[in-house]
């Protein structure tokens, strides 16, 4: 891999962009702080999701490609497709793929989640991952920046769009992985079941041991039988500024 000071690296970076190390295989991702940078939720999902040898993986709403890049490092998945509607973000993801020399493993596609099954075809993937917009309409503060608003709010796609298209795109027995907010958990579980994606595994994420959970990680199985395993909770901070050991392991420190 080229070092950060090389001509190749400099030619991949645009104004206002930076290269963030991922602590995995020497990989890094290009980000623009003026747009939407990935957060802990994407990293946690990449540690929760599973892709076996030979499996094809699709990441819906990939942003700058953080989830497929991390999953390529952590799993034995054969190929990763990353779908992103915002061309600026998709372009950054493609350049990150080139920086990490992953062109043979990761393909970034510009397109709309709502049309994903038409673009790729039914039963095209063994695994789907997604870190979708969490907020609906008035929930949360709306960002004045359009790129950030699209990433955080259901402006261009909804939870229903994600679940409907995932059910079509997965092979029978295919697995669905999502990170979301607990306040929408009832809606999420009901929606998954209604689309034939049976919830199989769930983990709540707590910022501190004595706080309410602020994230939920969910695995579903297309056409699975009804049985949900609730895993032990994940605690992020042992004390202010100090991660728990499990978080350090997920990040690769």
Q: Residue 205 in contact with residue 214, Cβ under 8 Å? A: yes
| Residue 9, domain member (yes or no) | no
Predicted local distance difference test score (pLDDT) of residue 46: 96
- In the predicted structure, residue 139 carries a pLDDT above the cut 60: no
**Does residue 26 form part of some domain?**
no
At residue 140, the pLDDT reads 47
Query: Binning pLDDT at 50, 70 and 90, where does residue 37 land?
Result: confident
- In this prediction, residue 127 has a pLDDT band, given cuts at 50, 70 and 90, of very high
Q: Give the per-residue pLDDT at 229.
A: 98
- Backbone torsions φ then ψ of 44, nearest 5 degrees: -65, -40
146, part of any domain: yes
Q: Is residue 90 part of a domain?
A: yes
The span from the first CA to the last CA of the chain, in angstroms, equals 20
Query: CA 18, CA 20: separation in Å to the nearest integer?
Result: 6
Asked if residue 180 belongs to a domain, the reply is: yes
Query: In this structure, what CATH number is given to the domain that contains residue 162?
Result: 3.40.50.150
Task: Report the share of the chain in percent with pLDDT over 90.
Answer: 79
Report pLDDT for 224. 95
Q: From CA 90, how far away is CA 186, in angstroms rounded?
A: 32
Task: Give the domain range for residue 128.
Answer: 38-251
- For 125-184, strand residue ranges (E) read 125-130, 170-180
Give the position of tokens 């679940």. Answer: 163
Q: In this predicted model, what pLDDT tens digit does every residue of 197-252 receive, in sequence order?
A: 999 999 999 999 999 999 999 999 999 999 999 999 999 999 999 999 999 999 98
Mean pLDDT of 19-47: 91
Residue 27 inside a domain? The answer is no
Enter the pTM of the model.
0.90
User: How many whole angstroms separate alpha carbon 178 and alpha carbon 159?
Assistant: 11
For the chain, what is the domain count?
Answer: 1
Mean pLDDT lowest for which of 2-11, 65-74, 182-191, 209-218? 2-11
Q: What CA–CA distance (Å, rounded) separates 93 from 30?
A: 7
Please give the helix or strand (H or E) that residue 89 lies within, else none.
helix 87-99
> Does residue 77 fall inside a structural domain?
yes
Asked if the model's pLDDT at residue 137 lies above 70, the reply is no
Q: Is residue 7 part of a domain?
A: no
* 121 conformational bin, left if phi > 0, alpha if psi -120 to 50, beta if neither: left
Residue 149 CB contacts under 8 Å (≥ 6 apart), including other chains: 142, 143, 155
Look at residue 101 and tell me whether its pLDDT is greater than 60. yes
pLDDT top residue among 8 and 74: 74
- pLDDT of 6 strictly over 60: no
């Amino acid at each position: 891999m080229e070092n950060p000071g090389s001509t190749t690296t400099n030619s991949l970076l645009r104004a206002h962009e930076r290269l963030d190390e991922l602590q995995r295989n020497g990989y890094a991702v290009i980000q623009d702080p003026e747009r939407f940078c990935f957060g802990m939720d994407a990293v946690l999902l990449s540690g929760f999701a599973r892709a076996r040898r030979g499996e094809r993986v699709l990441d819906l709403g990939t942003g700058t490609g953080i989830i497929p890049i991390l999953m390529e490092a952590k799993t034995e998945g054969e190929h990763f497709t990353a779908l992103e509607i915002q061309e600026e973000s998709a372009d950054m993801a493609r350049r990150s793929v080139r920086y990490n020399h992953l062109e043979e493993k990761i393909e970034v596609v510009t397109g709309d989640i709502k049309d994903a099954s038409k673009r790729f075809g039914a039963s095209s993937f063994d695994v789907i991952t997604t870190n979708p917009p969490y907020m609906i309409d008035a929930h949360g503060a709306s960002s004045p920046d359009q790129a950030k608003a699209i990433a955080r709010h259901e402006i261009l796609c909804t939870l229903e769009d994600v679940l409907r298209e995932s059910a079509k795109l997965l092979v029978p027995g295919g697995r669905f992985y999502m990170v979301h907010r607990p306040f929408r958990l009832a809606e999420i579980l009901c929606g998954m079941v209604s689309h034939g994606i049976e919830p199989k595994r769930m983990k709540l994420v707590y910022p501190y041991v004595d706080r309410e959970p602020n994230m939920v990680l969910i695995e579903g199985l297309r056409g699975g039988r009804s049985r949900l395993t609730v895993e032990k909770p994940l605690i992020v901070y042992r004390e202010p500024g100090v991660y728990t050991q499990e978080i350090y392991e997920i990040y690769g420190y």
